[in-house]
Amino acid sequence: MNARKQAITVAKDLLRGSIDPIDGCRQLAELRLELNMSNDSSFLVFAAIDSDTDKWPSTTIQQHYAKNAITKINAEIKEYFKQSKPEIQEACHEIIDKLS
């Protein structure tokens, strides 16, 4: 899948809630470079989120953590994305519109 289609798919998955928000945001942050959209305001949202959340492990890495650590991490992640949801949704819609 090319980067344009992949970005649209990830944005739609984030809107549907069918992808882990950290994984989806990190993917869009990476895809902005492939798409030569490093300074695009919609993609910069995801670059900022990637930076904000780099202290938390991705879902694939979490399996190696102790259960009590994951419980604490997941509570922090949930709160962060609850507060960031409107901004993420707006940026996803913008990305879909720009790349469709």
Question: Which residue ranges make up each domain of the chain?
Answer: 3-99
Quote the pLDDT of residue 59.
Answer: 81
Quote the pLDDT of residue 92.
Answer: 98
For the four alpha carbons of 27, 29, 30 and 34, in that order, the dihedral sign comes to positive
pTM: 0.91
Per-residue pLDDT of the chain (100 residues; tens, 9 = 90+): 799 999 999 999 999 999 999 999 999 999 999 999 999 999 999 999 999 999 998 888 888 889 898 999 999 999 999 999 999 999 999 999 999 9
CA dihedral 12, 14, 16, 17 (to 10 degrees): 160
Quote the pLDDT of residue 77.
Answer: 94
